[in-house]
Structure 1
């Protein structure tokens, strides 16, 4: 578990019908062999900017509007918030633990269950997220 409290959700979003897409930033960035390891923060910023269109565009099988959270860790943790549409969750420890904390928070903070989709290829994270009721899709589900 991460030692920090889960990243708060925007007011009014918990329990809403708006699906939540949680992106495992390190895993998605690492799925494209484009030299990301030379500039982890820059790679996270590029991903953040590509994800910015999703709230209005949706994903296959998930029509808009959607809420997008990009979980960043390590050297990518200090990237700026950036354009509207993607909320940055900064993991103080493990990015996987931060993702699970966000999933747990979303499942317990509203009166109505919310559709939550975690974007990752990490099998351990996949198992943890699905055990909490989240769906999981691989990195190719989002622009990279």
Structure 2
């Protein structure tokens, strides 16, 4: 992990990729790579309402395993359930330095909020196709 003072932003890749019906199901790994690349600017800029820099961890699972990290976005490949890994990461980060989880999954939101993490929806990092990314 890069900066111990930076807030950790954990992105639920499966949930965020699945939030836009753009054919992601035909190439899950490619969709995860495109999401990873679109997250890079957020590492320095931060998220709307959370100025940067932030540490971004993209949690991938299933067919998206094998996606590599890039500067600004660390990949965490879940050996099983992505939700379980996200909860584990949030439980470690939230009390120490703050944690934001990007997901729309209600059950996961409840799990990570119990550790003190804040949750935001997928559109925070993946605007609708007719909208530009917030600056």
Q: Confirm or deny a common fold (TM above 0.5).
A: yes
* Distance of aligned partners of 1:57 and 1:29 in 2 relative to their CA distance in 1, 3 Å threshold: same
User: How many residues align structurally?
Assistant: 127
Match of 1:61 among 42, 46, 49: 49
* Distance of aligned partners of 1:29 and 1:12 in 2 relative to their CA distance in 1, 3 Å threshold: closer
* Distance of aligned partners of 1:11 and 1:48 in 2 relative to their CA distance in 1, 3 Å threshold: closer
Runs of at least 5 residues in structure 2 that lack an aligned partner in the other structure: 128-135
TM-score when normalising by structure 2: 0.89
TM-score when normalising by structure 1: 0.83
Residue equivalent to 2:79: 92
Cα offset for 1:57? 1.2
Check whether the contact 2:3–2:55 (CA below 8 A) recurs between aligned residues. Answer: no
Residue equivalent to 2:123: 140
Residue equivalent to 2:59: 71
RMSD: 1.4
Could you tell me how far apart the structure 1 residues matched to 2:118 and 2:68 are?
A: 28
Question: Secondary structure of 1:52's partner?
Answer: helix
Residue equivalent to 1:5: none
Residue equivalent to 1:104: 91
Q: Which segments of structure 1 move beyond 3 Å, counting only runs of 4 or more?
A: none
Cα offset for 1:11? 5.9
Runs of at least 5 residues in structure 1 that lack an aligned partner in the other structure: 1-9
Residue equivalent to 2:98: 115
Cα offset for 1:136? 0.4
